[in-house]
Amino acid sequence: MKTMGLSRLLLVNPKHFPDDQALARAAGAESLLVTAEVCTSVDAALADCVFACAISARQRNLGPPPLPARLAAAEILARADEGEVALLFGNETAGLSNAEVQRCQRTVFIPANPEYTSLNLAAAVQLLCYELRLAAFDGHPPVLSKTVPFASPPASHQDVQRFFEHLERVMVSSGFLDPRRPRRLLPKLRRLFGRAELECDEINILRGLLDAVERQVAGKRRMASGTSDTVDNSGS
């Protein structure tokens, strides 16, 4: 409940309450247990509600209309404008009785694998609370860090173009690209780096690498043209 921003918990005839084991397992969400209200009947728990949903995998013969979890979350939120609303869960072993389900306005089910529908109580509660949170924020609840930290800002179009020009120069000078027979090499590399959405730092790293390659290529050329040139360079 707390992970999804819910805070009001009502317990109907709990076997043990307060319970040390429950508190220990709450792991940071103790506030919910401490403020939980204990009721002596489902009717007492739902007394102030204008809209209650029974969570049940089974449709009951004279039960309220069924609704899958996602649609139910939207309806619950809409009805919350009118007054208190509730999700009613049965206990782990017995679930809800027909009489309890019939006290609600909807039967809410989680669309599970028809061959194995058995979600445990904690899983069902988590899913419903999650759907409520997403519905409450129209699919986009606030997150801890709203903007994703780019390792560095995205590169500008101009920076990317300069990188491609640099890359092409090196491809040609290294003999990898024959300008008379380009074989679509450049468009393919443009596609790759375009998809990657390069950042400034990455452009710097790539151009640094291209610079280093260019120096090597130039050095080799000088070596090939005469040794004195190379000796001068290394000594300077």
* Closest C-alpha among 12, 93, 110 to residue 59: 110
Min CB(108)–a copy of itself separation in Å:
12
Shortest separation between residue 67's beta carbon and a copy of itself, angstroms: 10
**Whole-number minimum distance, CB 47 to a copy of itself, in Å?**
23
Q: Which is nearer to a copy of itself, 173 or 204 (CB)?
A: 204
Nearer to a copy of itself, 4 or 77 (CB): 4
Instruction: Rank residues 27 and 192 by Cβ distance to a copy of itself and give the closer one.
Output: 27
DSSP the chain: -GGGT----EEES-SSSS-HHHHHHHTT-HHHHHTPEEESSHHHHHTTEEEEEEE-SSPPTTPPPEEEHHHHHHHHHHHTTTSEEEEE--BTTTB--HHHHTTSSEEEE----TT-----HHHHHHHHHHHHHHHHTTT----SSSS---SSPBPPHHHHHHHHHHHHHHHHHTTS-BTTB-TTHHHHHHHHHHHHT-BHHHHHHHHHHHHHHHHHHHHHHHHHH-HHHHHHHHH-
In the complex, minimum distance from the CB of residue 148 to a copy of itself, in angstroms, rounded to a whole number: 5
- Interface contacts to a copy of itself, rule CB under 8 A: 2-5, 27-29, 57, 59, 61-62, 65-66, 68, 70, 109-114, 116-119, 122-123, 126-127, 130, 133-134, 137, 139-145, 148-149, 151
Enumerate the β-bridge partners of residue 178.
181
Q: How far is the CB of 84 from a copy of itself (least distance, A)?
A: 21
Question: Which residue, 47 or 123, has its beta carbon nearer to a copy of itself?
Answer: 123
Q: How far is the CB of 62 from a copy of itself (least distance, A)?
A: 6
